[in-house]
Amino acid sequence: MLSVAHPGLITEAVPIRTEGDRLADASLADIGGKGVFVRALQAAVLEGRADVAVHSAKDLPSVTPAGLCIAAVPARGEVRDALVGGRLADLPAGAVVATGSARRRVQLAERRPDLRFADLRGNIDTRLAKAADFDAVVMALVALERLGRRPAVLQALGVDVMVPQVGQGALAVECRATDAGLRRLLAGIEDPAARRCVDAERAFLAALGGDCTIPAGAHAHLAGGAVHVRGVLAPAEGEPLRHAEVSDGSAVQAGLRLAELLAGATASESEDAPTVECDGDA
């Protein structure tokens, strides 16, 4: 990305194996949530072993560690989830759907209470290989597209059917907050629209005080200069899902208002309460 935005710039990849990679068979809830995929990368940047960390934005905890900032959010990819191996309406009664996501399970169960669920972890190729063991598996559509994988049976689920994970389809580029020169370089790959949407979604998650183990999702898009955010939350086991939508000119306030509607969250009126950016409101 940087080399395209700044021709002649030389970059070097720093291989890092994360805790999430090492514990691929354990559930995210058991090993510490989404942070297991990013802590090792963030430590490498803070310690000077790397200058930049590129994350899937949906893997980032809602609060950025001290000393780091999200310096750029490039143009966003596909945000939808997808069923692989079967279509929702065609799945037989009692079908087994594999996914490690509580958010995905509760939304599918709302539409198909008869479905049963199995856990699923691993990289994309591992999940595709396991798809034959179930009636269907759920994946992020963007991951399939970026890797050029085209399953024979695939159904993209609209955001009105399955509200995505916060930050799904987007990349988040972190660097040291004090590295002004690098932050200027990274500004060349920033997409302002994607940044506003991701900031709104991350503010929502921060107000809930959680990460991807919470059965909640949010999807933002721009409409007439405002940020419109759709959200879903399962407040407690056995309770019906809560759905809400809000629009606001401020990305952060849109996310906070959505959290208040869905969970009665006590969100700060200050727009810099959630750590979601480097400089001011987006």
Q: What is the pLDDT of residues 38-76, one digit of tens each?
A: 889 999 999 999 999 999 999 898 889 999 999 999 999
For residue 280, being part of any structural domain is answered with no
Residue range 175-213, pLDDT digits in tens: 999 999 999 999 999 999 999 999 999 999 999 986 556
Alpha helices in 112-165 (DSSP H): 124-130, 141-146
Q: pTM for the whole thing?
A: 0.85
- Identify which of 208, 145, 165 has the alpha carbon closest to the alpha carbon of residue 59: 165
Mark which of 139, 157, 175 sits at the end of a domain.
Answer: 157
Q: Average pLDDT of 72-95?
A: 97
Which CATH number characterizes residue 150's domain? 3.40.190.10
Please check whether residues 107 and 65 belong to one and the same domain: no
Please check whether residues 124 and 255 belong to one and the same domain: no
How far, in Å, CA of 109 to CA of 50, rounded? 42
Q: Is residue 136 predicted with pLDDT exceeding 60?
A: yes
How far, in Å, CA of 11 to CA of 155, rounded? 37
Please check whether residues 192 and 176 belong to one and the same domain: yes
For residue 80 the two structure tokens come to: 């939808």
For residue 33, being part of any structural domain is answered with yes
Please check whether residues 27 and 139 belong to one and the same domain: no
For residue 235, being part of any structural domain is answered with yes
DSSP string across 222-265:
EETTEEEEEEEE--STTSPPEEEEEEESSHHHHHHHHHHHHH--
How far, in Å, CA of 144 to CA of 135, rounded? 19
Q: Which residues are catalytic?
A: 59
Mark which of 157, 187, 213 sits at the end of a domain.
Answer: 157
How far, in Å, CA of 262 to CA of 163, rounded? 14
Tell me if 91 sits within 8 A of 112, measured CB to CB: yes
Residue span of the structural domain in which 104 resides: 81-157
